[in-house]
Amino acid sequence: MTDKTRYINITFTSGKKQRFEFMSTSEDPNVVARKMETMLASGHLIIHVEDRVHFYPLANVESVEVSPAPVKTAGFIMQAIRELD
């Protein structure tokens, strides 16, 4: 993994899980925050994978995890959180 490699884990309401690897395409941390806000506003998670584009309605998505976390995230995301058992 390079410092630009990111992973996205999607869990669907059906219980199906998918994991993708991608490279961060921008050094600007504001880009990630804007993309997150745009995705939430559109109601869809849209992913370009090789020669296909996937459109996932957020109503069918239980959770999305991006790791490692971007340096800057959207303003509505709680930060400095520690997960407990």
* Domain positions in the chain: 5-67
Tell me: pLDDT of 2 over 60. Answer: no
Q: What would the pLDDT profile of 20-77 be if each residue is shown by its tens digit?
A: 998 877 666 677 777 778 888 999 999 999 999 999 999 999 999 988 876 666 566 6
Q: Which CATH class is domain 5-67?
A: mainly beta
The upper half-sphere exposure of residue 32, i.e. CA atoms within 13 Å in the direction of its Cβ, equals 21
| Dist CA 61 CA 73 (whole Å) | 20
Q: What would the pLDDT profile of 61-73 be if each residue is shown by its tens digit?
A: 999 998 887 666 6
What is the pLDDT at residue 75?
Answer: 65
> Are 21 and 5 a contacting pair, CB within 8 Å?
yes
Is residue 62 classed as helix, strand or coil in its secondary structure? strand
